[in-house]
Amino acid sequence: MGVLIQRPGEPGHPGGSRRIYVRTNYRGQRKTRVFNTMKAAEAYAVKAESILTDANMGKTDAAQIFSQPAGKAAPAPTFGQAVERWWALEGASFKGGTRDTYQNILALHILPRFKGRDLTSITATDMEDWWAGIRARKLSHDHSINIRSVMVGVLRRAVKSRLIPSNPADAILGRLGREDREVRQAEWLTEPELIRALAVAEAREPRYYPAILTIASTGLRMGELVGLQVGDVDLDRCRLSVRRRIRKREISSPKSGKARTVDVPPSTIAVLRDWINTVRAEAAVRGHEALWLFPSKTGTPIEEPLLRDAWKRVLTVAEILRLVRVHDLRHTYASLALQRGVPLLVVSRQLGHSSIGVTGDVYGHLLPDATREAATAWEAILNANSRNSRATVPPESS
């Protein structure tokens, strides 16, 4: 015997932002009533509990409760409500960049068509028609995959929540095929361009020079740089500990999900040593202890747009006319290191890539020497055979 009220968001609640469920159970006989207001649900629950108690004492029939008016039932859940539920349950695990991407996808490609639709009315044919429209837009391969992943994820959560019996988006799963477009390579600075840009930054942008130099000589991501604290710098061992990143003022773990240690050139450490003294002096004036390695003038982590603007000014003065982002300093670090003969595995670890394969896909074109060595080795093998005067051609088999 029992009466249970399930509010939105509570364990076992099947979904929806307004629906309130009242479940009754008497001798294995179960019934559920749905309400739009808590007042109506609580009134019904009190009455149900009273009837069930009387029935248990033999005063009335428990079947009476199932004939009680339940009030107006809530409408069937919409696709928009399913999105809200998916975001509430799974959105917290998304990284900042992923959240931004998914929000844009929902706003541009999914919600305009499906937001108000009755969730149970969406069919596999609807999914196929929608997906055909998405594919006709000739979006990038990766973006198309992300769009499909969001749709499949929303409806998969709806299935788990028992809002729908099966996932109609299963109809659009499968291989997307090859993307017939030019492969974009990472932009990066040559050694002379980098040296010229760093000289301009030191002379014209002293507030941002240490940050620009750090990215260029370590390959950190922008968010990882912004998230560095003074205690993350090991001046004696010439190392940085990358423990967090900050994106849109939100602190999270590094993109790979793991902390890592990055080796820093001694000349960069020398600049950081002086910079830390400056940061500590500024913090003392504010009456605080220095926390962030690259703070704003108020002591909070530096705002990314300020660093980007400073970098644009550097490029202008250095007469580097093509579009090179601050993030491209990371590409510059990897590209120049590989050209100097640093092993791909070492560069991959410094960059914090999830695997060496990722590094190879992005920067493999900068490793011509390795393939040239293979060709040279085979040339030696072929020449050795041609110089062997006693070598004979094996007879053909009969």
How far, in Å, are 9, 80, 89, 160, 235 from residue 154 at the CA level?
Answer: 16, 10, 10, 10, 48
Which token pair is 291?
A: 């926390």
Mean pLDDT value of segment 341-363 = 78
Of 89, 3, 94, 84, which Cα lies nearest the Cα of 51? Answer: 3
Range name among 2-6, 285-289, 348-352 with the lowest pLDDT average: 2-6
355 has pLDDT over 90: no
The per-residue pLDDT of the chain, averaged, comes to 83
Hey, which bits of 265-398 come out as E strands?
A: none
CA angle (271, 277, 279) in 5-degree steps? 100
Q: What is the pLDDT of residue 256?
A: 75
Mean pLDDT value of segment 268-288 = 95
Between 173 and 12, residue with greater pLDDT: 173
Between 276 and 163, residue with greater pLDDT: 276
391 has pLDDT over 80: no
Rounded to whole angstroms, how far apart are CA atoms 352 and 245? 12
With residue 21 as reference, give the H or E element that holds it. strand 20-26
Q: What is the pLDDT of residue 398?
A: 47
How do residues 47-70 score in pLDDT, each as one tens digit?
Answer: 777 776 665 555 555 555 455 454
Mean pLDDT value of segment 328-339 = 89
How do residues 108-135 score in pLDDT, each as one tens digit?
Answer: 999 999 999 999 899 999 999 999 999 9
Q: What is the pLDDT of residue 248?
A: 80
Give the contacts of 289 (CB within 8 A, at least 6 positions apart): 283
Query: Angle formed by the axes of helices 141-160 and 96-105, to 10°?
Result: 90
Range name among 7-11, 61-65, 263-267 with the lowest pLDDT average: 61-65
15 has pLDDT over 70: no
Q: How confident is the model at residue 45 (pLDDT cuts 50, 70, 90)?
A: confident
Could you tell me whether strands 2-6 and 20-26 are parallel, antiparallel, or unpaired per DSSP bridges? antiparallel
